[in-house]
Amino acid sequence: MKSLRWFGLCLALASCGSDLAPAELVEGRDLCASCRMPVSDRRFAAQITAPGELPLFFDETGCLGEFVKGRQGKAPAAIAWVADHRTRVWVRADRAVYTRVPTLQTPMNHRLLAHETAASRDADPDSRGGRPVALPEIFGPQGPPHGSES
């Protein structure tokens, strides 16, 4: 009986954590929570996940930043994710490396790229000619939602 309760507790804890994992994006169907345009290019996409909530998708990091600045402190358990522009892998927004490239065309012209690491950024030809951007410039002083963990 104890092992059955332990299994139930482990299953419950595992399911809670899965709400905070990045959701699967359907390009061209999922809409940006900020500007309502279809998210059409995963290289620029972002999202917010929270326990028990549907994910909020964004067509680029700049839209996510505007959304977060307007809602600081509203969802403490939420986690923001950005797609690594080069690899398209989801990365926690609070751990990503950001670059603004003035000549780059992005969905809403924020001209921001996100990368998992500086090495990924350096390997991405689209990031050439850009300048590093700090989290507060994009997301405000509190940064992007990062859940209860840091």
pTM of the model: 0.83
**Mean local confidence (pLDDT), 32-53:** 94
25-39: pLDDT as tens digits:
999 999 999 889 999
Residue type for 61, please?
A: T
User: What pLDDT sits at residue 73?
Assistant: 55
Q: Is 80 exceeded by the pLDDT of residue 7?
A: no
User: What pLDDT sits at residue 74?
Assistant: 59
User: What pLDDT sits at residue 3?
Assistant: 38
User: What pLDDT sits at residue 78?
Assistant: 93
Residue type for 55, please?
A: P
Q: Is 90 exceeded by the pLDDT of residue 122?
A: yes
Question: What residues contact residue 34 under an 8 Å CB cut-off, 6+ apart?
Answer: 58, 59, 63, 64, 66, 67
User: What pLDDT sits at residue 75?
Assistant: 59
80-99: pLDDT as tens digits:
999 999 999 999 999 999 99
Cβ atoms 49, 79 nearer than 8 A: yes
**Mean local confidence (pLDDT), 108-129:** 97
The residue length of the chain stands at 150
Residue 89 CB burial class (10 angstroms; 0-12, 13-18, ≥19): middle
